[in-house]
Amino acid sequence: MHDPTPHEGGHDPSHESPFKGKTGWRRIWNALHYSMAGLKAAYRCEDAFRQEVWLALVLIPLAFALPVSGTARALMVASVLLVLIVELLNSAIEAVVDRVSLENHRLAKRAKDIGSAAVLIALLLVATVWASILGGSA
């Protein structure tokens, strides 16, 4: 028994969105453009993302300049990149919440607060990883 494709069983992605259903190189090319547009929008519109990009531009080269093992360097860089990833997701959540409604609502506040908490945890991870490695306990 095989898993049905989206087209089998009446689930044609092109009926869900005009942007679905592209395949192959065309899909990859479109995805690249959407991703670049997302990065540009986040940098232009989100102060926190902009600050974290600048932090990454300092910390990532520093990780390569420090005399640490390859594994330690990978952890240092990955922890910084994780902050950017989490911030992008948080910004997306905030944009969707604001798109749905700008009125104050407990669920909107909860969604935004949870996204912010995720960013905080990612930042604490950077501090923990870097402190552990630079402090010699890694």
Domains of the chain, start order: 1-45 (no CATH), 47-138 (1.10.287.3610)
pLDDT score of 6 more than 60: no
Chain-centre distance for alpha carbon 109: 20
Q: What is the mean pLDDT of residues 7-11?
A: 59
Give the tens place of pLDDT for each residue, 33-60.
Answer: 999 999 999 999 999 999 999 999 999 9
Q: Is the dihedral of CA 110, 115, 118, 124 positive or negative?
A: negative
Looking at residue 103, what DSSP letter applies?
S
* % the chain with pLDDT above 70: 83
Q: Above 60 in pLDDT, residue 1?
A: no
Establish whether 87 is a catalytic residue.
yes
Query: How far apart are the C-alpha atoms of 56 and 77, rounded to whole Å?
Result: 8
Which entry of 8, 16, 46, 87 is annotated as an active-site residue?
A: 87
Give this prediction's pTM.
0.82
Which range is least confidently modeled, 14-23, 67-76, 82-91, 96-105? 14-23
Residue 10 has pLDDT above 70, yes or no: no
